[in-house]
Amino acid sequence: MAEDQNKSGENEMSEDEKLAAEWEAAMSETGEAGEADGDDHDDEWAAAMEEAGEGAGKSVTAAPMEEFDEDTPQTGTGPAPDLDVILDIPVTISMEVGNTQIPIRNLLQLNQGSVIELDRLAGEPLDVLVNGTLIAHGEVVMVNEKFGIRLTDVISPGERIKRLSK
């Protein structure tokens, strides 16, 4: 039985050897044709490397820069953004009478009739906020039995847009 395994192993080896021989023959045929090409390829690389080494000592000249006219628009300095696009977007306007900080213990003790002291004096102008950004100061007025605010100091439109875009 061991002899049968050796014989089958020899047959397999001989088949493997045959296959290896075929590959070796095919590779040698293409290798002979490719060796001439490979030598040329190596020569090209060697020549390129020599050229690169020769240029190391040469001075470099700056490329001329294109001159731009002052009339040419520059990036970021184009026409102003078209505000008509955003004019109908609703925003939240709120008036701030004042504020203060109190401990949570005191906050939990608040009930109807409690008074909270604020950081502003009576009669001092209120802050007018748009989406949480200060845009004006004003005073409280009554209009048809409703509260309103008369603006006393308004930030310029350009400054308002800058503050709102932050």
* Residue whose token pair is 């007018």: 128
Q: Name residue 75's amino acid.
A: T
Mean pLDDT of 48-55: 67
Are β-strands 146-154 and 133-143 bridged in parallel, bridged antiparallel, or unpaired?
antiparallel
Q: What is the DSSP pairing of strand 93-96 with strand 133-143? A: unpaired
User: Is pLDDT of 95 > 70?
Assistant: yes
The answer to whether 155 touches 163, Cβ cutoff 8 Å, is yes
Give, for 106, the enclosing helix (H) or strand (E): helix 104-108
Q: Which of 29-33, 114-118, 159-163 has the lowest mean pLDDT?
A: 29-33
pLDDT at 41 over 80: no
Contact 131, 91 (CB under 8 A): yes
Mean pLDDT confidence for 1-27: 65
Take residue 12 and report the two structure tokens written for it: 């397999």
Q: What is the pTM of this model?
A: 0.42
pLDDT value at residue 64: 76
